């Protein structure tokens, strides 16, 4: 419905004003696992260049290398900067499935004062697949693939992203241009890496899949009257309404909530003002306030953070300057279902008798939390079985037997090497 196909747009750039300017094993268990280790891996985000010869990402206009960008043509600099932004996200996110981004530059117009920077959206969305954390809930393609551990739509890319080629001309924003350096030092120009990081975040899940202007959920056969919610909407809350969670509201309540700043807030547990180092743009419970003006703006309202946020953040509705900090945006994506590479951090406490390691929260069969089930997960499960580490039943009790045993470890290993069996952590 509605905004599933509507681009999430980095609003507009203006030439005045801050808010106007527009990521020792027990020996008894060692034999079966020697040589089978695999490390946690980051995602791979690949730019698919859809521009024709001599345009956009292939523009042959000569350009001088700048700010760490070694490209010698305009098109080459654009592609290097875009892939740099994609790599920044790839370093933070975990997925066993390559994320493909179809990209191009198009004329989008503008004038001396204002112009669109670009837009991005997911090319498909999926619900009720094997591995989905919640039923009757849509997930953007890249996230759904991560959760399913397979490409659910292999004939199509995952994210669609477009940028305004007119910004590099004379009509849009006057003398200002995109700055393609990688060093976040654009001067008076528009930092392209910032725009690319912002738009990629939308394609990765910082977007609603409902029609929020009228409050309607996505249509789906399993809920013909109510429709199905989405992973982003599950994290939105308005305490002035009952029920407070937007995913539980009816259409009229939901439509009002997305016009109710500062009461529309992010309820996910990972992203908070403290976690992101914010001093403004948060409510009394340290929750992030979302951009929800009384006049609804399609593809802008509710899918950005408030302009009152401090310090300035990547996911504000308009460009405010060069921002390469992904902390807040990545924590919010984590709340939608992504695993982040810092989640591998373990805390070890030592006593006089044993060493106990608290593992990151993973999914069933994936105690390493890297988004993939490998021999490393089997090894961790075996460590949990013999008491060397702690692992919740919801992650390591893969046969739903009520305890973590060596049988669970063997089952994880068999799954990791490709055997056709089911991991069921029902006891968790």
What is the per-residue pLDDT across 278-308, written as a single tens digit (0 to 9) for each? 999 999 999 999 999 999 999 999 999 999 9
* Cα three-residue angle 132-135-138, rounded to 5 degrees: 70
Same-domain status, 45 and 87? yes
Which of 336, 364, 389 terminates a domain? The answer is 336
* Nearest CA-CA partner of 159 in 298, 47, 44, 318: 47
Which of 336, 368, 392 terminates a domain? The answer is 336
Same-domain status, 172 and 239? yes
Same-domain status, 62 and 197? yes
Give the C-alpha separation, 127 to 148, whole Å: 10
Token reading at 154:
């292999």
Which of 292, 314, 336 terminates a domain? The answer is 336
Same-domain status, 294 and 367? no
Same-domain status, 119 and 171? yes
DSSP 228: B
What is the per-residue pLDDT across 347-359, written as a single tens digit (0 to 9) for each? 322 222 223 333 4
Same-domain status, 109 and 238? yes
CATH number at residue 367: 1.10.1330
Total number of domains constituting the chain: 2
| Residue 265, domain member (yes or no) | yes
| Residue 183, domain member (yes or no) | yes
Residue 210 to residues 215, 310, 367, Cα–Cα distance (Å) = 7, 28, 33
Query: For residue 9, what is the enclosing H or E element?
Result: strand 8-9
Residue 66 to residues 58, 70, 179, 278, 286, Cα–Cα distance (Å) = 18, 7, 9, 32, 40
Give the C-alpha separation, 234 to 386, whole Å: 38
Same-domain status, 308 and 404? no
Same-domain status, 77 and 168? yes
| Residue 424, domain member (yes or no) | no
Same-domain status, 238 and 359? no
| Residue 351, domain member (yes or no) | yes
DSSP 343: G
Same-domain status, 53 and 142? yes
| Residue 283, domain member (yes or no) | yes
List the domain range (segments joined by +) for residue 323.
2-336
pLDDT in tens, the chain (428 residues): 433 334 444 544 433 322 222 322 232 333 333 333 333 467 999 999 999 999 999 999 999 999 999 999 999 999 999 999 999 999 999 999 999 999 999 999 999 889 999 999 999 999 999 989 999 999 999 999 999 999 999 999 999 999 999 999 988 999 999 999 999 999 999 999 999 999 999 999 999 898 999 999 888 888 777 889 999 999 999 999 999 999 999 999 999 999 999 999 999 999 999 999 999 999 999 999 999 999 999 999 999 999 999 999 999 999 999 999 999 999 999 999 998 886 533 332 222 222 333 344 467 888 887 667 888 888 888 888 888 778 888 888 988 888 999 999 999 888 887 776 778 886 54
Residue 28 to residues 34, 141, 275, 363, Cα–Cα distance (Å) = 12, 42, 41, 26
């Amino acid at each position: 419905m509605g905004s599933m196909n509507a681009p999430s747009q980095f609003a507009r750039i203006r030439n005045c004003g801050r808010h106007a300017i527009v990521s020792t094993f027990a020996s008894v268990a060692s034999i079966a696992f020697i040589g089978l280790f695999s490390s946690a891996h980051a995602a791979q985000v690949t730019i698919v260049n859809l521009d024709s010869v001599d345009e956009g990402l292939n523009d042959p206009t000569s350009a001088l290398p700048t700010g760490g960008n070694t490209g010698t043509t305009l098109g080459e600099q654009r592609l290097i900067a875009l892939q740099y932004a994609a790599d920044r996200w790839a370093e933070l996110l975990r997925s066993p499935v390559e994320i493909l981004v179809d990209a191009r530059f198009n004329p989008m117009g503008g004038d001396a004062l204002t112009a669109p920077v670009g837009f991005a959206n997911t090319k498909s969305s999926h619900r009720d697949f094997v591995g989905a954390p919640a039923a009757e809930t849509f997930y953007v393609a890249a996230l759904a693939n991560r959760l399913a551990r397979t490409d659910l739509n292999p004939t199509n890319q995952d994210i669609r992203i477009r940028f305004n080629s007119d910004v590099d001309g004379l009509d849009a924003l006057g003398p200002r241009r995109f700055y393609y350096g990688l060093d976040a030092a654009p001067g008076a120009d528009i930092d392209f890496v910032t725009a690319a990081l912002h738009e990629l975040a939308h394609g990765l899940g910082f977007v609603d899949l409902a029609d929020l202007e009228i409050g309607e959920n996505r249509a789906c056969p399993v809920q013909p009257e109510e429709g199905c919610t989405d992973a982003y909407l599950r994290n939105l809350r308005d305490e002035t309404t009952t029920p407070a969670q937007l995913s539980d509201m009816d259409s009229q309540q939901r439509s009002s909530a997305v016009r109710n700043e500062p009461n529309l807030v992010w309820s996910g547990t990972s992203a908070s003002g403290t976690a992101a180092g914010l001093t403004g743009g948060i409510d009394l419970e340290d929750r992030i306030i979302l951009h929800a003006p009384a006049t609804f703006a399609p593809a802008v309202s509710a899918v950005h953070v408030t302009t009152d946020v401090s310090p300035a953040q990547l996911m504000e509705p308009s460009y405010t300057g060069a921002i390469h900090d992904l902390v807040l945006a990545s924590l919010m994506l984590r709340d939608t279902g992504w695993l982040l590479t810092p989640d591998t951090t373990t805390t070890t406490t030592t006593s006089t008798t044993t060493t106990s390691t608290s593992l990151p929260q993973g999914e069933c069969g994936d105690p390493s939390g890297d988004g993939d089930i490998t021999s490393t997960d089997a090894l961790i499960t075996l460590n949990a079985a013999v008491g060397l580490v702690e692992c919740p039943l919801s992650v390591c009790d893969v046969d739903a037997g009520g305890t973590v045993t060596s049988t669970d470890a063997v089952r994880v290993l068999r799954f990791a090497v490709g055997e056709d069996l089911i991991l069921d952590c029902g006891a968790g």
